[in-house]
Each structure stands twice: as structure tokens, then as C-alpha cells.
Amino acid sequence: MILIGTMNLTRTRERGEFYCPTCGATRSYRLRARRPFLTLYFIPTVPIGAAEMFIQCDDCRSSWDESVLEMDQAAHQLVQEEKFRDEAIRSAVLIALVDDNVSEPEIQSLLELSDVLFDRPIDREELGRLCSIARQAGIQANNYVLTVSKRWTMQQRLLALQGMFLAATATADDVSPEKLKMLHSMRDLLELTDQEFEIAIDDALNYDIA
């Protein structure tokens, strides 16, 4: 019986140094080429596709598109900051959606905190789109925050928590138990101490958000 299959072969093309977004520092890298081959008795024989080029950090082993070499530390940090703002706004939206009922005060709060707190203004149309995506995909606030917050700095974690608190308490006289429970769970998800959690909430009360 003839055994035919496929496998990927990866080879290093060159080496150098770059700013690794994952490590947050200058690291050595390898430019690698991954290409699929047809195998005969588990031996690669014929290439069956174009080579895929990627950059791999020698320290954390993260892989990146070649364009990562064209960005310096300042550019990477700017990209990461913009990404955080989007993620923080989504986190606040998900908190507002915990009880599946976004009131007009919550809408106004989300619009204002995106501008005042995160310096990333959104309009009602974009907010509606974010809500629709979250509902259709069944995204839960705790699962989302647990995933994205791993790359947040401590300052960003505290800021995101403040945004979620302001979104959840926009109707201060009628905050659902579900939202309060979710907010409380953020302390552990964001790996905050009781003191850090309480200080962030107290500071949030100083923002002039509707």
C-alpha cells in the first residue's frame, strides 16, 4: 500500500533584531518560511503551495507578519493603546448588556465615557452595531475581559474597570443584581487587590459622566 500525505516544512531564512510587541522589548528574531509538501511514505517530496513567510521571536516564540519589522517601539505602543481603547469600550458595552436591557441612560453613559474616559468617541450607530454583534455572538462580559485583559497594563485594567462600573451604574437607582455580580467578578478577572478595586471605583465617581 502506498502511503501519501502532506506536511509543512519550516525553515529559517534570516535572523535579526526587532521590537517584539508581546515581550515589549527588543528581541532577536528568525524570518521563517513555512511550505506544504506532498509526502510519500512520510518523506516530503513535492512542494504543493507557496511558502508562507513569518517572523518568530526567539524569546517568547510569538509569530508575526513581516510588517512587524517596519514598526518601531513607539508605533507598536500606539497600536496597542488604540486596541485597548476599543477593547475597553466593548467591555463596558458587554456589562451594560448583562441583563439584556440597555436603557437610554446607559446608552448616553456609554457614548460619553467612550469620549471622556477612553478618548475614543463613538456614535449611536457604532454603539448599536457593537450591541448587535455581542448579542448575536453570545459574548459574555467575563469571558471577553478574561481573554483581552491578559495584555493590559495595570493602569489600563483600572481604567477599563472604571468604564465598566460607569456603564453598569448609569441608572444608579436601578442597577440589576446581574450587573453588580459581574462587576464584582472583575476584581478577580483583572487580578486586582481589594484596595485597587475599591480605589478604582471611588475614582470613577469623580468623572462627569451622565
Lowest mean pLDDT among 41-50, 72-81, 153-162: 41-50
Q: What percentage of the chain reaches a pLDDT higher than 90?
A: 55
Domain ranges across the chain: 4-71, 74-204
Picking from 162, 152, 149, 160, the residue whose alpha carbon sits closest to that of residue 189 is 149
* CATH topology for the 74-204 domain: TerB-like (1.10.3680)
What's the sign of the alpha-carbon dihedral 133, 113, 95, 210? Answer: negative
pLDDT one-digit tens code per residue, 140-183: 999 999 999 988 999 999 999 999 999 999 887 778 888 999 99
- pLDDT above 80 for 29: yes
Virtual torsion, Cα 173, 197, 109, 148, nearest 10 deg = -130
Distance set, CA 24 to CA 65, 137, 159 (Å): 17, 32, 20
- pLDDT above 60 for 104: yes
User: Which residues of the chain form beta strands (DSSP E)?
Assistant: 4-20, 25-40, 43-47, 52-57, 63-64
- pLDDT above 70 for 1: no
- pLDDT above 60 for 210: no
Considering just the CA atoms, what is the radius of gyration of the chain in Å?
A: 23
pLDDT reported for residue 202:
93
| Total number of residues shown for the chain | 210
d(CA 81, CA 187): 22
pLDDT reported for residue 2:
65
Going by pLDDT thresholds of 50, 70 and 90, the confidence category of residue 209 is low
